[in-house]
Amino acid sequence: MLLSGVDNAVIVIFSIFIIYVGIHFSKAVHDMESFYLGNRSLPWSLTVGALVATWYGGVGTIGTVEYAAMYGLSIWLIWCVTAHLGRMPLALWVGPRISIRTDVTVPDLLQDIYGKGVALIGAIFMLVYCTQFAQITAMGECGIAWGITPFEAGAGLIVLVIIVAVCGGLMGVAVTDMVLFWCMCFGLTMVLPTQWADVGGWAGLTQALGKTPDLMDPLGGLTFMKGLMLVVVSFGVYADPTFYQRFSASDSPKSGRRAMLSCFCLWICFDIILTVTGLIVKAKYGDSIGPGEGYIKLVLTTLPVGVRALFMIGLAGSIISALDGYYLSGAATFANDIYGRLKGNVSQKELVLITRITIVVLAIIGLSVAFQFSTAQDAFLFIASVWMSAGFVPIVGGLLYKGKKTPVGGYLSMLVGAGVFAYFKYYPLQAFDLEPLVAALPLSYIAWMIGNQIGKSVEVESIREVA
């Protein structure tokens, strides 16, 4: 065990605080508007905290360290920089449209554009994506701090996530996200100065990694196809339900835009810190230990008693923040867009109950599959690719394309994208290194364009019915 009794006492106190917040905000939950969107009243500050904490999670922290140790500086240039540049249009143009055009969830948007059937298929894919088992994979790496198994670490975390999300809804999630956001900032930045000096700065790091020079090359380390895959996945934020939820829940489109732009400076700083830390982990431990566990060990053997607890709170807190946001989105999707659409005439009280039950189910499913992957980043890339293959083109196209859009376009885009991804995932090309997502997206787009030429748009049909 790498944590002392004092460290564990501090962690227990924070855990009690998280439980209290969840119970406190449960009193304000009356319907889906208050439970899922916090009555659309999130100010700029809470939106910033929720966005940063949700996006970084365990995948953004431990996952980035893992990939930096495996692939070097190219992770920062190819993965991190492209991700932030790709989010600029989301903040400036797409995000503000979300709070205006969506009702409650992403499938609501799909129904407005393509009809009920496409919305139902999209809801099923999105529900799978919201299991976010990669975050639990990351938490498993933290088990080394207490000398417990990855499964035990993941199970303990899931209990806290369920309490916050089930009881407090979005307001409980947002408030805990803001508190844990500051703990995360503290934890990520505290250890780097000491370790940077200990490794001998840039010169010492370069010398320590002399046997693997590609790690210090901003364009090395990654194969072309792997780099292309990361660039493509970085644009997955345009189909990410938690970002749509945050924009919809902000108190105005302007507030959501300001929050997103404010996050960029924080994200860039975090990425630099995590990438350099990953290189230090590689220099210190080589291949003797997994980079995720190496990161935890490096930090906990560097920081003093008490401060180590704040680091673990920040790290585990970032995972809690990500999971409760995704579980809330996924559960609301099931209740509103699958259960509600199939049953019809469902009361608000029943929708909230189904949402809470689904949160528990998503947590159990995530825990059951989380440790089938060697790294958190690998787990994330898999689940993100499944969702992007089906949902990216119809969602982004529906928001930005001003031409004709039909139900056939929505159906073909989702089914072709998902089908191509599944085929190349399980029957990879032997003569060529092809990432399934790289093949799925262009074919999904072609299918979408072809399908949009068949049939009538939902808007046209609705107008004629009224007439």
Domains of the chain and any CATH numbers: 5-374 (1.20.1730.10)
Give the length of the chain: 467
d(CA 377, CA 61): 10
Residue pair 256/99 in contact (Cβ under 8 Å)? The answer is yes
Long-range contacts (CB closer than 8 Å, 24 or more residues apart) made by 206-213: 208/283, 209/72, 209/279, 209/282, 209/283, 212/72, 212/282
Who has greater pLDDT, 215 or 418?
Answer: 418
5: which 2 tokens? 């009794």
What average pLDDT score do residues 99-111 get? 64
Strand partners, 250: 42
d(CA 425, CA 435): 8
User: pLDDT band at residue 463, thresholds of 50, 70 and 90?
Assistant: very low
Q: How confident is the model at residue 376 (pLDDT cuts 50, 70, 90)?
A: confident
Helix axes 133-141, 376-400, angle to 10 degrees: 150
Instruction: Provide mean pLDDT across the span 372-397.
Output: 89
Q: What is the pLDDT of residues 21-76, one digit of tens each?
A: 767 766 655 555 545 554 455 666 666 666 666 667 777 788 888 889 888 888 88
E-strand stretches of 345-456: none
Largest Cα–Cα separation, the chain: 75
Cβ–Cβ contacts within 10 Å for residue 207, how many?
Answer: 11
Predicted local confidence at residue 244, as pLDDT: 64
| pLDDT for 462 beyond 70 | no
pLDDT tens track for 323-350:
877 888 788 888 877 887 777 777 777 8
Do residues 234 and 316 make contact, with C-beta atoms less than 8 angstroms apart?
A: no
* Residue from 393, 32, 23, 28 nearest 248 by CA: 32
Q: How confident is the model over 169-214, as pLDDT tens digits? A: 556 666 766 777 777 777 777 778 888 888 888 888 888 888 887 8
pLDDT band at 414 (very low <50, low <70, confident <90, very high): very high
Confidence check: pLDDT of 443 > 90: yes
CA distance 74 to 239: 25
Look at residue 297 in the predicted model and tell me its pLDDT: 86
Q: Which residues lie across from 42 on neighbouring strands?
A: 250
Distance, in Å, from the CA atom of 14 to the CA atom of 37, rounded to the nearest integer, reads 25
Q: 415 falls in which pLDDT band (50, 70, 90)? A: very high
C-beta separation of 235 from 87 below 8 A: no
Instruction: Tell me: pLDDT of 117 over 50.
Output: yes
Cβ neighbours of residue 434 under 8 Å, at least 6 residues apart?
225, 424, 428
pLDDT digits (tens, 9 = 90+) for 210-269: 888 788 888 777 888 888 888 888 777 777 776 666 666 665 666 666 777 777 777 788
CA distance 234 to 226: 12
Q: What DSSP designation does 371 have?
A: G
Residue ranges of E strands in 248-394: none
Collapsing DSSP to helix, strand or coil, 24 comes out as helix
Q: Tell me if 135 sits within 8 A of 323, measured CB to CB.
A: yes
Distance CA 236, CA 390 (A): 11
Residue 401 burial class via C-beta count within 10 angstroms: exposed 0-12, middle 13-18, buried 19 and up: middle
HSE of 223 in the Cβ direction (CA atoms, 13 Å)? 7
Structure tokens at 194: 């000491």
Q: Which residue has the tokens 């998902």?
A: 418
Q: What is the mean pLDDT of the chain?
A: 79
**Contact in structure between 322 and 57 (CB atoms under 8 Å):** yes
The dihedral through the CA atoms of 410, 412, 417, 422 has a sign that is positive
- pLDDT of 101: 45
- Give just the sign of the alpha carbon dihedral 408, 447, 387, 188: negative
The mean pLDDT value for 389-399 works out to: 88
What is the distance between the alpha carbons of residues 200 and 206, in angstroms, rounded to a whole number?
9
Q: Measured on CA atoms in the order 174, 175, 181, 187, is the torsion positive or negative?
A: negative
Quickly tell me which residue has 């994200």 as its tokens.
267
Decide if 321 contacts 241 (C-beta within 8 A).
no
Most confident of 113-117, 250-254, 304-308, 329-333: 113-117
**Tens digits of residue pLDDT in 15-36:** 888 777 767 766 655 555 545 5
Q: Yes or no: say if 293 and 25 are a contact pair by the CB < 8 Å rule.
A: no
Q: Is the pTM above the cut of 0.95?
A: no
Distance CA 25, CA 168 (A): 5
Burial class (CB in 10 A: 0-12, 13-18, 19+), 53: buried
What DSSP string describes 83-115? HHHHHHHIIIIIHHHHHHH-SSSHHHHHHHHH-
Read off the DSSP letter of residue 42.
B
Rounded to an integer, what distance in angstroms lies between the CA atom of residue 190 and that of residue 313? 13
